[in-house]
Amino acid sequence: MISGSIPALVTPFKDGAVDLDAFAAFVDWQIAEGSTGLVPVGTTGESPTLSHAEHYAVITACVETARKRVPVIAGCGSNDTATAIAHMAHAERVGADAALIVVPYYNKPSQAGLIAHFTALAERSSLPIIIYNIPGRSVADMSTETMAALAQLPTVIGVKDATGNLARVSAQRAACGVDFFQLSGNDDMALGFNAMGGVGASSVTANVAPKLCAQFQAATLAGDFRTALAINDRLYPLHAALFSDASPGPTKYALAKLGHMAPDVRLPICAPSDAARAAVDAALAHAGLT
Give mean pLDDT, residues 246-257: 98
* Cα–Cα dist 145/88, whole Å: 25
The answer to pTM > 0.85 is: yes
For 20-78, write each residue's pLDDT tens digit. Answer: 999 999 999 999 999 999 999 999 999 999 999 999 999 999 999 999 999 999 999 99
pLDDT the model gives residue 1: 75
Please identify every residue annotated as catalytic: 132, 160
Contact in structure between 130 and 106 (CB atoms under 8 Å): no
* Cα–Cα dist 139/289, whole Å: 35
Reference 177, options 194, 164, 159; nearest CA is 159
The third-level CATH classification (topology) of the domain covering 4-223 is TIM Barrel (3.20.20)
Give mean pLDDT, residues 108-134: 98
pLDDT the model gives residue 110: 98
Reference 22, options 9, 5, 35; nearest CA is 9
Half-sphere exposure of 259 (CA within 13 A, CB side): 3
